[in-house]
Structure 1
Amino acid sequence: MEQETLDLEVLAGSRDGIRILRLTGPLTLHTIFPLQEELRREHRPLTVFDLSGVPYMDSAGMGVIINTYISAQRRGFRVAAAGLNYRVIELFKLTHVDTLIPVCETVAQAEAL
């Protein structure tokens, strides 16, 4: 079985204080560690997860997103998710994470929050 990989690209937002994390690949227990390291490195008033390149995620991947949300809330910061496919949006709905974290169709919509 081929090892799964998650590519992480950190982008500046359209204005100061926004960090965009563009993820490509499955967000799973085997791939979350570079993302966790990046999330510990820097905190911004708005973190946008661009999940348009994520075909699926498991509970560990969801845990990273929830932990980011909790950490942001403690600082008075926000988190949003953009570009979720059907499989990922259904996981957000099943776990009710969509009631905590704004889910947007595009990164531009998430940046406008």
Structure 2
Amino acid sequence: MDLQVRSEVRGGWTVVAVSGELDADTVPVLSDHLEETPGERVVVDLSGVPFMDTTGLSLMLDWHRRLDGAGGQFRMASLQPSVHKLFRLTELTEVMHIHASVADATT
């Protein structure tokens, strides 16, 4: 399954919508897109991601550290149950900013 990524600005936030499986084969697509994404306030909408492996998890953690460490904000929204479970099992729900919806993440 190909990974589709698109961005739009909403109320001062860059919302990056991702669709498809996020794994070792597709992480470079999202990584490249995030590198080109302007702004210091980013929300990654994962509602279209039914599966994520540890390479996707590592990418999300890296961007969290990069933006939050530089005074920006990195949030994730609309995680499907299987993806949310990965964050729970690794206890990253305690560290990262995970929101039920993009609207919640951008307020």
| TM-score category of the 2 structures, normalised to the smaller one | over 0.9
Contact 2:45 2:78 in 1 (8 A): yes
Q: Which runs of 5+ in 1 are unaligned?
A: none
2:44 corresponds in structure 1 to: 49
Residues 1:96 and 2:103 aligned together: no
1:8 corresponds in structure 2 to: 5
Moved more, 92-101 or 47-56: 92-101
Aligned residues: CA RMSD: 1.2
Contact 2:3 2:22 in 1 (8 A): yes
SS in 1 for 2:64: helix
Deviation by residue 1:62-113 (Cα, 9 ceiling, x = unmatched)? 111001011112211111111111101110111111112221111000001x
2:30 corresponds in structure 1 to: 35
TM-score normalised by L of structure 2: 0.93
SS in 1 for 2:25: coil
Q: For the residues of structure 2 that align with 1:86 and 1:42, how far apart are their CA atoms?
A: 27
Number of aligned positions between the proteins: 107
Contact 2:5 2:33 in 1 (8 A): no
Percent identity among equivalent residues? 25
TM-score normalised by L of structure 1: 0.88
1:45 Cα deviation after fit: 2.6
Q: Which has the larger radius of gyration?
A: 1
1:91 partner amino acid? L
Contact 2:43 2:102 in 1 (8 A): yes
Q: Which runs of 5+ in 2 are unaligned?
A: none
Moved more, 53-62 or 34-43: 34-43
Q: For the residues of structure 2 that align with 1:19 and 1:104, how far apart are their CA atoms?
A: 15
Deviation >3 Å, runs of 4+ = none
SS in 1 for 2:50: coil
